[in-house]
Amino acid sequence: MRNWMPITVSEGTFTSMNGTSHTYSLEDVEGIARNYHADAPAPIVIGHPSTDAPAYGWVDRLYVEKGILKAILKDVVTEFSDSVKNGRYRKISASLFPPHNHANPTPGKWYLKHVGFLGATAPAISGLAPVALAGFGEMVEITFDPQAVNSFSAVETELQELRREKLDMRIDKLVSAGRILPVFQSEIAEFCASQPGADTFSFAGGEPTTGSEWLLSYLERQPQIVSFGAMELDRAPEDKVPGYVPPEGYSVD
């Protein structure tokens, strides 16, 4: 699952949770986006944990739009996404590595450490691997207003509608191509829509894929199983049609 979310770091002065003020220029904000890279991903967490904690998703990339830092999220756990949409988290707080911090992946520059959602207890989700967050020393934490969370919820709803529209169009093509029977169209659509987007698997030598994507790809590779047009049966040539031979002693008028 991918979503975008505003992390409203913009030029100006912000006061962190420990009372320390920091002033960011537009160049600083653009630098945070430019310096972010996939080798040191920032997890999505609940609160501001100081030790190992589960990641409920990851920041895929950062960009600046009209002076506002925004994040593209990926692999967001469905249960957590549902909790956000249901209003359980009213604030978002970003934690930044200061330029001088010894654990900063980009020494001398600001770097996003994690994005914390505040306001509710963590949903009970089994199987989430912890990420190491301890031992980083001084952090700068900036808490934002509920508008960022509301934007996350609205965009996630819009993305779900777009994903379902694309799914229905893809299955319509399978029906039109005669690769699945119309009677199974709605069942296949509901099955694919219910599959968790973050759960993937792969065959030997293949790229990781989701269950719904594998099923659709499998169906698209199948031969046509039904024809919706008129069917013409081949007829034997006239000269090869066997004639009728009457029994001996009889004739045919």
pLDDT in tens, 7-26: 545 445 555 555 556 666 77
Q: SS3 for 211?
A: helix
In a domain, 212, yes or no: yes
15 and 120 part of one domain: yes
Q: What angle do CA 43, 59, 142 make, to 5 degrees?
A: 70
131 and 206 part of one domain: no
Q: Which of 94, 79, 92 is nearest to 22 (CA)?
A: 94
In a domain, 111, yes or no: yes
In a domain, 253, yes or no: no
Segment 120-177, tens digit of pLDDT: 554 443 444 444 333 334 444 444 444 544 555 555 566 677 788 889 999 999 999 8
Residue-level pLDDT at 157: 65
Tell me which of 107-116, 178-187, 238-247 is least confident.
Answer: 238-247
Q: Which of 9, 4, 153, 122 is nearest to 74 (CA)?
A: 4
Which token pair is 80? 């957590």
31 and 134 part of one domain: yes
- Distance from C-alpha of 90 to C-alpha of 151, rounded to nearest angstrom: 11
125 and 45 part of one domain: yes
166 and 91 part of one domain: no
- Helices and strands (H and E) in the chain: how many: 5, 13
Domain range for residue 166? Answer: 160-226
Q: Looking up tokens 């040191």, which residue turns up?
A: 40
In a domain, 141, yes or no: yes
Residue-level pLDDT at 36: 92
Indicate the residue type of 6: P
In a domain, 67, yes or no: yes
Higher confidence at residue 14 or residue 68? 68
pTM over 0.75: no
Segment 45-56, tens digit of pLDDT: 887 665 556 788
Which token pair is 152? 């996350």
The phi-psi region of residue 252 (left if phi > 0; otherwise alpha if psi is between -120 and 50; otherwise beta) is: beta
Indicate the residue type of 91: K
Residue-level pLDDT at 138: 42
137 and 215 part of one domain: no
In a domain, 221, yes or no: yes
What count of other Cβ atoms lies within 10 Å of the Cβ of residue 218? 10
- Distance from C-alpha of 1 to C-alpha of 159, rounded to nearest angstrom: 9
209 and 131 part of one domain: no
Please compute the mean of the pLDDT values over residues 78-93 and round it to a whole number. 76
Please count the structural domains in the chain.
2
